[in-house]
């Protein structure tokens, strides 16, 4: 059953009956693969998501938690319609993005942040922000799993990010919304829906956009998206943007066979995904650019210096753990050492001086007596170098035992080399363990542990 007010709100659509029937049907399952960890798309990726180079539909929904490849960051379980933002960004930039700074303002749990991480590559930087601390922690773990090493996870209000005036080439606002497009996947969203909730969401979305606007540079691209159907949160907010801010249109050509409804509000291109017309959930997106103008990039005065760049001797025990040490800089924050791609190290330091950065780059671990005790994030980093550890391939059940933090049996223990082992499954990293005689010390953080399955 749907809320009566919702049924009335969509009744004006010419195919409202088909929409409601689709929302009562079975949800589509899709994933997005990680090209930094997979040399080629898996065989099961034959049924491709047309608007994303790495997206694929699955015939049925497996228990993803029991797939070690997911824990290794080989893929992300992401709804197909929302993967459209890759097509939007690549189209807006005429192909590859180059060296860009992307601000993903409402980033948890990390589907779009990891997508932007793939697009930005080693030359770019993604700032993935989440205002709720617990959700920011989940976001950071998903960034670690993805393992590209070009993301800074922050936990700040939008106005804090706007203090970095004209800093970002892309502002992505996947706004908290009333969730009508998720009625098929999430039945609880139906219970939470109300006209008052729609109005509250629309007002909150405008507040977020207004507070964050100054962070985008002139000529930069804004992608605004929601997972809802109503005009109040979608077209009306785009019209409000066009009326109150200096925006320019961005030309995007979408193949008609995709089934995406293309529109325009105030000259700004809009895109609607209806679950009875596309293989995906309900989704709305709009893309525009900030009008050109002569401005000065502004970085707030640092309130602190939590990121201390390391000199060459200090970096030596770290450099041997990454495949391309010449492409990276190393720094210390608290007790941990981190690696950063050279083009963005200063950017991350500038962010850390004024924002609550809870994770950035790739955490390498802690140095004791000139030797590194590697962090779990380093095991998942795509640029991990072979070297001071053994590699032990596990069966699926052994990998799941590790991810549950269970003791290894004698047979598994006997295959481990003495000392540090990188555990893999199907050639993909699972994590570290250290064998000491007849026991092994699992180095898996509790937040990555499988519980109750």
Token pair in block for residue 405: 């933090």
Question: Residue 240 in contact with residue 266, Cβ under 8 Å?
Answer: no
User: Treating both helix axes as pointing N-terminal to C-terminal, what angle do 84-92 and 111-120 enclose, rounded to 10 degrees?
Assistant: 30
CB-facing half-sphere around the CA of 278: CA atoms within 13 A: 28
List the pLDDT tens digit at each of the 453 positions of the chain: 899 999 999 988 889 999 999 999 999 999 999 999 999 888 888 899 999 999 999 999 999 999 999 999 999 999 999 999 999 999 999 988 889 999 999 999 999 999 999 999 999 999 999 999 999 999 999 999 999 999 999 999 999 999 999 999 999 999 999 999 999 988 888 999 999 999 999 999 999 999 999 999 999 999 999 999 999 999 999 999 999 999 999 999 999 999 999 999 999 999 999 999 999 999 999 999 999 866 666 677 767 677 888 998 899 999 999 999 999 999 999 999 999 999 899 999 999 999 999 999 999 999 998 899 999 999 999 999 998 899 999 999 999 999 999 999 999 999 999 999 999 999 999 999 999 998 999 999 999 999 987
Confidence (pLDDT) at 294: 61
Q: Which CATH number does 299-370 carry?
A: 3.10.450.720
Instruction: Please confirm, yes or no, whether 227 is among the known catalytic residues.
Output: yes
Buried b (16+ CB within 10 A) or exposed e, 16-36: eeebbebbeeebbbbbbbbeb
Confidence (pLDDT) at 295: 63
Phi-psi map region of 441: left, alpha, beta (phi>0 left; psi -120 to 50 alpha): beta
CB count, 10 Å around CB of 183? Answer: 27
The burial class, CB within 10 Å (0-12 / 13-18 / 19+), for 2 is middle
Question: Residue 365 in contact with residue 375, Cβ under 8 Å?
Answer: yes
Question: Residue 329 in contact with residue 340, Cβ under 8 Å?
Answer: yes
Q: What is the largest CA-CA distance in the chain?
A: 71
Of 400, 390, 370, the residue nearest 432 (C-alpha): 390
Question: Residue 140 in contact with residue 113, Cβ under 8 Å?
Answer: no
Q: What are the boundaries of each domain within the chain? A: 4-290, 299-370, 386-453
DSSP string, 151-211: EEEE---HHHHHTSTT-EEEEEEE-----GGGTTT-THHHHH--HHHHHHHHHHHHHHHHH
Q: Which CATH number does 4-290 carry?
A: 3.40.50.150
Q: Which CATH number does 386-453 carry?
A: 3.10.450.720
Spell out the residues 6+ positions from residue 412 whose beta carbon is closer than 8 angstroms to its own: 394, 398, 401
Helix, strand and coil percent figures for the chain, each rounded to 5: 35, 25, 40
299-370 and 386-453: identical CATH topology: yes
Catalytic residue among 155, 177, 201, 227: 227
């Amino acid at each position: 059953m749907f809320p009566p007010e919702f049924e009335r709100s969509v009744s004006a659509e010419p195919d409202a009956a088909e929409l409601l029937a689709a929302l009562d049907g079975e949800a589509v399952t899709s994933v997005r693969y990680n090209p930094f960890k997979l040399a080629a798309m898996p065989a099961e990726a034959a049924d491709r998501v047309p608007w994303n180079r790495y997206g694929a539909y699955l015939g049925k929904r497996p228990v993803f938690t029991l797939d070690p490849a997911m824990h290794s960051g080989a893929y992300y379980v992401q709804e197909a319609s929302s993967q459209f933002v890759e097509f939007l960004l690549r189209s807006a930039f005429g192909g590859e993005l180059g060296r860009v700074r992307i601000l993903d303002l409402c980033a948890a749990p990390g589907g779009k942040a990891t997508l932007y991480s793939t697009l930005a590559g080693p030359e770019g930087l993604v700032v993935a922000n989440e205002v709720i601390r617990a959700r920011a922690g989940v976001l950071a773990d998903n960034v670690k799993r993805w393992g590209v090493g070009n993301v800074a996870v922050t936990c700040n209000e939008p106005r804090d990010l706007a203090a970095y005036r004209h800093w970002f080439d892309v502002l992505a606002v996947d706004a908290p919304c009333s969730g009508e497009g998720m009625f098929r996947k999430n039945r609880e969203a139906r219970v939470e829906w109300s006209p008052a909730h729609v109005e509250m969401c629309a007002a909150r979305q405008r507040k977020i956009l207004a507070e964050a606007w100054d962070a985008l540079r002139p000529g930069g691209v804004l992608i605004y998206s929601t997972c809802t159907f109503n005009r109040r949160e979608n077209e009306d907010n785009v019209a409000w943007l066009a009326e109150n801010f200096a925006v320019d249109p961005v030309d995007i050509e979408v193949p008609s066979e995709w089934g995406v409804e293309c529109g325009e509000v105030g000259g700004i291109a809009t895109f609607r995904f209806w679950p009875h017309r596309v293989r995906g959930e309900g989704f709305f997106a709009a893309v525009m650019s900030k009008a050109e103008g002569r401005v000065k990039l502004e970085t707030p005065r640092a309130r602190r210096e939590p990121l201390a760049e390391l000199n060459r001797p200090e970096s030596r025990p770290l450099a041997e753990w990454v495949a391309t040490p010449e492409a990276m800089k190393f720094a210390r924050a608290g007790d941990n050492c981190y690696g950063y791609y050279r083009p963005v190290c200063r950017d991350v330091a500038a962010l850390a001086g004024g924002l609550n950065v809870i994770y950035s780059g790739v955490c390498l671990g802690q140095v004791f007596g000139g030797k590194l005790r590697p962090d779990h994030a380093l095991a998942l980093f795509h640029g991990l170098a072979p070297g001071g550890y053994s590699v032990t391939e596990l069966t699926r059940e052994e990998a799941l035992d590790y991810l549950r933090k269970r003791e290894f049996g004698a047979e598994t223990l006997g295959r481990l080399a003495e000392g540090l082992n990188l555990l893999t499954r199907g050639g993909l990293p699972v994590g570290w363990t250290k064998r000491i005689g007849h026991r092994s010390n699992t180095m898996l953080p509790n937040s990555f542990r499988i519980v109750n399955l």
